[in-house]
Structure 1
Amino acid sequence: MVVSPHPLPSATITGGSPICEGSTATLTATGGNSYLWSTGMNGSVITATVAGTYTVTVTNSLGCTATSSVSLIVNPNPISQILGSLTVCEGSSIQLEATGGISYLWSNNATTSTINVNPVTSTSYSCSVTNNYGCQVVVTKPINVNPLPIPQLFGGDHFCEGTTMALTVAGGNSYIWNNGDTTAQITISSPGLYSVTVSLNGCTASTYAYITTLPIPVTTISEPISICQGLSTTLVASGGVSYLWSNEANSASINVSAGGTYTVTITNSDGCSAIRSTTVTILASPEVTITGDLEICNGMNTSLTAHGGVTYFWNSSATDSTITISPTTNTQYSVTATNSYGCSSSTSTTVTVNPVYLVNRVAEICQGTSYNGQGFTVPTQNVAGTFEFFNNLSTTNGCDSIIKLSLTVKPKPVITQAITGNSVINITGNYTYIISNAQYATSYEWSISNPTWILTNSTTQSVNLAINTPGIGTLSVYGVNECGVSSPATLNIQSTVDIEESDIDDNIEVFPNPANQFVTIQNNSTQSLTHVQIFDFTGKYINQYELHALNTNINIETLSKGVYLLKIYNKNKLITTSKLIKN
């Protein structure tokens, strides 16, 4: 019997080339009709991801088997990262470095391990890294682009010599100045270039300012002075365009009568100020008194002695401190005394000469006067009525009498209220003015200081005044009776009749008008305005103010009530005039 063996299958495996970590290998067996792999899988094709030996048993159609094996190698992927900062400032570049491979391909197509990038917005950069096995990984680096800070510098560009100025910067959370300060605000006392670097979120930006100083005024003031009590002196300051004294006066010179230290702040055209002071010493005036027998009998003499000075001058031309007199009638004696400072004061007294017989006397005086007569010296009587006064003479040598004086004090007129009527006149016409509640007046005397206005002849409590021209005038009224004239009541009247504004430029506005405290000059025109001059109603120059902007506020608090004329200039050229009413 002849046995013929069946042929074995020819088992082979393809697809066993090395793979990278994370990849899949496809293993394909051939040479049979059925296949059983060492992994337990059936079929001619399997996939593998794990390194090792893979064996397949191949069976042909005759049932014969053969095996084949392949070793699968899994190469490691590169261990890679991108080095570099996660943030970059706007406008700056950053270096990124990929590691762990032998070749690189960036998302911007660069093929080096290190790249420099300058992103304008926040973005990400990726790199495909390949190692020596040919395995690749892709790593990504997000980049945040921080905006640069916007520094803002506040504080001006100049200050006055001898003062300080604050410079303030904003726009960051940390600062470094070129003088080493690290605060947002610095105080400077010297001119020069000041720069600051502002940091925000790690990004920096710088700004600077060149600061200059303005000169302070070169000033003078009156030397210290001594004056006698009751006198006044003029203090003068110079070197500026405006002045503010410690007594609130705002002129270059002031008239003072009180002692003490006077200080003035002098400001120049740059707005810089200097302070000067001087002193006024008040020298005491003498306190002058006269002593002696001030009441004598007719035919006698007496001595009067002055006290309080070092030299004396009597109204009788005597220069001694004591004089001897023998008046025959009531006589007033006055003396001026001068002390060691050269200051003088005067006083007076009346020597009464009494008659030598018994008599009743009757007299009348007006309220507010004294009575000297008939042997009596009665001081000023301020109350109306009838009063009795007595002189008792105790001697019998020609002056041994009792004299009774019945003195009637008649009231003087008194005006207690102001004149009522318009004080600012804008329209030609007749105006009525009234004085009320005058006491003891039997008639009235009216007068007006402006000769062009017509005042009706009136002796009553009202009067008519015709005003048809511009100007100013003082209306006065006195109460009159047999005892004299009262103190006047007055009313200052200003007339703007026929006053016209000229050269009006509708693009230049003055408001409010009338005004009380401030007035604004607004320039809506195309031409520049440099200054404005203020004149009162009579044409007298009052003041001048610089115009530096489209809107300039002028303080008119110190102006008296009335009508003023504003003349607005561009350098030496008059641009427009405007009438202003101060309430």
Structure 2
Amino acid sequence: MPSGLNTATALIKVSSGSLTDVSDSNFRILGTPGSLSATAGPCAGSLNFSWPSVTNATHYALLKLDPATGLWDTLNANISGTTYAATGLPVNSSLWFTLVAKNNATKAISDRALAINRTTSGTGSTPLANISGPASVCGNQTTTYSVASMAGISTYTWSVPAGATILSGQGSTTISVNFTPSSTSGSVTVFGTASGCQTSTSSLTVTVGNNVAAPVSGGDQTSCTSTSSALTATATVPTGFTVVWYNAASGGTVISNPVLNAPGTVTYYAASRSSNGACESQARTPVTLTLNTTTPAMVTASGPVTFCAGGSVTLTANAGSAYLWTNGATTQSITVNASGSYYVTVTQPNGCSSTSSPMAVQVNPLPVASISASGATTICQGETITLTASTGDTYLWSTGATTQSITVTQGGSYSVTVNQATGCSNTSTPVVVQVEAIPLAEITANGATAFCEGGKVTLTASPGNTYRWSTGETSQAISVDRTGAYSVTVTSAAGCSKTSNPVSVNVSPIPTVALVAEQNTSLLPGERTTLKASANGTGTFTWLKNGTIVANATANTLPVSIDELGEYSVKFTSQESCSATSNKIAIQAAASNDLFLYPNPNKGQFQIRYYSEPGIVSSTAVLIYDSKGARVASANYTVKVAYDRLKVDMRNEGSGIYYVVLQQENGKKLASGRVVVL
């Protein structure tokens, strides 16, 4: 049969190529049962079978395999439902079962279902479930008792205590029982039977009497409006009774809904009443309901709840009798200095408590405020150091600068306040910058710095801690005898140094000078000689006669006459002011016995010169005679030099030829000569 089709009858069509044929009669077709299951029944040798329904099936046949013949025996050939309780099967036996579906109208029969194997029980009957119903009743009360049905059980047999009557339901799972005032306490029992087997008996002890127990209180209730909008009184009564609420311990009126839905206190009273209303407990159970007003908890802050580390805020709860904060504090106020969500549970004197909405406190950390220096914080005058603040959003230095870094040239204590966008700030520990003075770097010379070879000068540096000269020397003073530019670096005790301006030292070579006489060095009156100096380089000449400077004599030559006898030398001074003195040349008088008269002829005034030993002072007489031999004049002279000048004035004597005689003091004639007076 094609998948998905279910039918009780069908025609068969056969095709072969172009030829087809349809059956003359309908075939009876029915689907095979999908499955078969079985569980142990209530009695020994019983099984409860069940299966899914088959489409178009009206009945089912349950079959059991006969192990002796190998044939299937019918247990029930006409089962209208999908369950069947089989009894009287061999106990403790392994049996095979199968099922076929039937349609009694079309006579269609399905194939057998997949066979199953089950083993029957031999342990006896299965007990029924517990009886449901009141265990305590009062006289003149009708109530019901029931038991759960069991598969395979066809009849349920009940019994009740003496004086009680089963009104209906005997043989079924539920009975109605009438208890009269004369009924006694006893048991309600039931057992089931099926095909000759009987279950064990289920029993329920029932107490009969008019002394009905009062309800058991569900407990007094106290609550708060914050947790309950209404309270309802509760109580528990014996089975078969209901709770009846009153507004008084006795008498009063019945309360249909024992609730409290507004702040206050109320007491309700519960009684046990039978379901038929025939009996009710004499005592009533009080249940008190109390609904207290809850005051909402609130938190107020003494100031901003967002602040910087190191600050705090005081959170205060509204008035109450007890407090419990999220941080465990139990005081009305807490001082908070850490971030968090803070709320408080406030308990009022009436026992009601309320928890506030959380208050968020944000404590922003202080920025790190530190200063890093680009180098040592002790610097020398003229140097700089860069101070850099740790990272922030804005900066304020003690100098007033607002950049992250500042360049420092002056000594002092420097600090910075680092600010963040949160408004938090922190001030650094001060950094002390010390500016050391640059030492004076000057050179003083103890003399001229331009001198001649063979001289020297001492150069002294201004005071310091250490010194380094351009020569490599490290003393404060150095002695210099060579040309050069000399400088010194002076370093103070603080390590600051300065280099001086260079001092130029010029050492000039000593010149050479030689002196010669171009003519004789021995002169007679009227004769001259020239002294000539020769020197290397350019310079000036200073002439010396007997060690005394000859005035106005600066040329390299010097004419010398008989009147200028002496020892001559010349000092040559170069352009560098270096000087050298030449060899000495003595110009002296040439010895002669002649008498020298000049000018001759003259106009009455003339001079007489005669050689005298140098260094000898003598007295000499001059006698003058005219051409006739008459002495016309005479005079005495002191002679101090070799050719001393003896001046004669004869302008009163007239012109003519005169005869001049020179004699010593003792009258000895030394020399004579003739002079013409015009």
Relative to the length of structure 2, the TM-score reads 0.31
Give the structure with the larger strand fraction: 1
Larger Rg: 2
Compute the TM-score of the two structures, normalised by the length of structure 1.
Answer: 0.35
